[in-house]
Amino acid sequence: MNRPARDALAHPGPILLVPGSVLLPEGPVDGWAVVVDDGRFAAVGPADELARSHPHLDAVPMPGHLLMPGFVDAHHHLTQSFGAALAFGEPSEIFRRVWVPLEGALDEESAYTAAKLAALEALRGGFTTVADAGTRADVDVDVVASAARDAGIRCVLGLVCNDADGPDGQDGTADPAVLESAEKHLARWTGDALVHPSLAVSIPEAATEPTLRATARMAAEAGAVVQIHVNEHLAGVERSLVRHGLRPLEHLHRVGALGPQLLAAHATLLTPRELTLLADTGTAVSYNPVASAWKGNAVAPATAMAERGVRFGTGTDGTRGDGFRLADAAEFAQRLAYGLATGDSSCGAGWTWLERGTHGGADAVGLGAVTGTVERGKAADFLLVDVDTPELALSWDLPWELVRRGNRDQITAVFVAGSLRMWQGRPTGWDGAALVERAAGLARAAVAGAGVTRVHPTSTAARALDRGRKGSARR
Ligand SMILES: [Zn+2]
């Protein structure tokens, strides 16, 4: 695709866009088009019909391209982007040794830069929405909001409401200052085109029981979500059992914090009873398969969750920002963890993972009415994917091919709220390369000053150790 196409797509609109095909919830259709106006899909339908009903618009043809909904990353930590590879080889609960110290070392400039770097990677990978689970950097969350807005990505912005750090712990009374700032945060972003407020508690034991209850109520009233890491690691499940006689999810249920407003991150270690609790209460989950592989103890039973009617999307947890590779990982992890053992060679039949990566995610993060499908009235958050490639052109089953063979190289354009934000992997209207250079410098300083504790050596050091060991064994 050449420059004229880019310029036509960057037009403030309205525009009539005619791709080769459009991915609807029911599947891909050829010969359809969309009208984008004022940030939304003003019309979606057969191209000839839209051309007739919009005679004043010049059609922008995008042959060989699929127009599909942008991916929704249902679980991210935007201000952790300086250290993705610090987690490699590490045992679970790295938040204690890596993330908390790293975020603690960020100032306003480095937190902004880290968040914008994460947003850039996400947009390049086809994510048009990210749910940020709340920064623990000592900065106003407006720093993260500004980074997302400046990068041009839709952001569900978590505010951390932990209040159980004091001597009374979880049994204490709620910290009124925490609830007051939660109330303000929920009202602060009204009318913002890209920022949607959310509350967050790092893990159930990080907040007092009254605060777990109050945040659930406040979020439900505001139509927002509360993000909590739940049942991710064995150590966390066992701590909860020792303390409450209940697993984390059961504890949240007893407190009254389950419900459609809860976005439970991970939920990998689930008993059959907890699956029932999720389904019965309408609680949403972010299934994070790459996080399981990199630092987890288990893989969430996502195929079973889909069957049982549990609401869920997929999340990166900041591991890597490629929507197609995430969909692939979502399927792959189900195959290895569950499908091989039961002879389920389908594990969701492809479409499940595209759907969970788009409108399942939008629903889970509380934006089901806003984004996640190519549909009249929804925000125009979408991708133009080049399907005229060796990987995808000989198509027999496009949705499944996108899951197994797609990746971000095939994304020609990314739109958020009707505006072209990314063209062939580069941001429009701002300098991505300069941001990356700045981030590289700030990341060195932040990690050096953070007091991060790693258990595992780097790859190169591990190789040297390995060779040393084998050498001495031979001697
Ligand atoms: Zn997380």
* Mean pLDDT (10-residue bins), the chain, 475 residues: 79 93 97 97 98 95 97 97 88 84 94 98 98 96 98 98 70 88 97 97 95 97 98 94 96 97 98 97 98 93 97 97 98 97 95 98 98 98 96 94 96 98 96 97 92 88 92 75
Query: What pLDDT shows up at residue 472?
Result: 79
pTM summary value: 0.96
Q: What angle do CA 399, 404, 407 make, to 5 degrees?
A: 95
State how far the alpha carbon of 408 is from the alpha carbons of 52, 132, 291, in Å: 34, 21, 19
Cα 338 from Cα 232, distance rounded (Å)? 18
Query: What pLDDT shows up at residue 94?
Result: 83
Q: What angle do CA 226, 303, 274 make, to 5 degrees?
A: 50
Query: What pLDDT shows up at residue 2?
Result: 60
For 209-250, write each residue's pLDDT tens digit.
Answer: 999 999 999 999 999 999 999 999 999 999 999 999 999 999
What does residue 224 show for φ and ψ, rounded to 5 degrees?
A: -115, 175
Measured in Å, residue 243 CA sits from the centre of ligand 1 at 22
Terminal-to-terminal C-alpha distance of the chain: 60
Measured in Å, residue 61 CA sits from the centre of ligand 1 at 40
Burial class (CB in 10 A: 0-12, 13-18, 19+), 243: middle
Cα 450 from Cα 452, distance rounded (Å)? 5
Measured in Å, residue 110 CA sits from the centre of ligand 1 at 20
Query: What pLDDT shows up at residue 3?
Result: 66
Measured in Å, residue 293 CA sits from the centre of ligand 1 at 14
Query: What pLDDT shows up at residue 105?
Result: 92
Give 252's contacts (C-beta < 8 A, 6+ positions apart): 204, 212, 228, 230, 258, 262
Query: What pLDDT shows up at residue 171?
Result: 62
Measured in Å, residue 203 CA sits from the centre of ligand 1 at 10
Query: What pLDDT shows up at residue 471?
Result: 85
Measured in Å, residue 95 CA sits from the centre of ligand 1 at 8
Measured in Å, residue 50 CA sits from the centre of ligand 1 at 43
Query: What pLDDT shows up at residue 167?
Result: 46
Do 106 and 139 meet the contact criterion of CB atoms below 8 Å apart? yes
For residue 186, the one-letter residue type is L
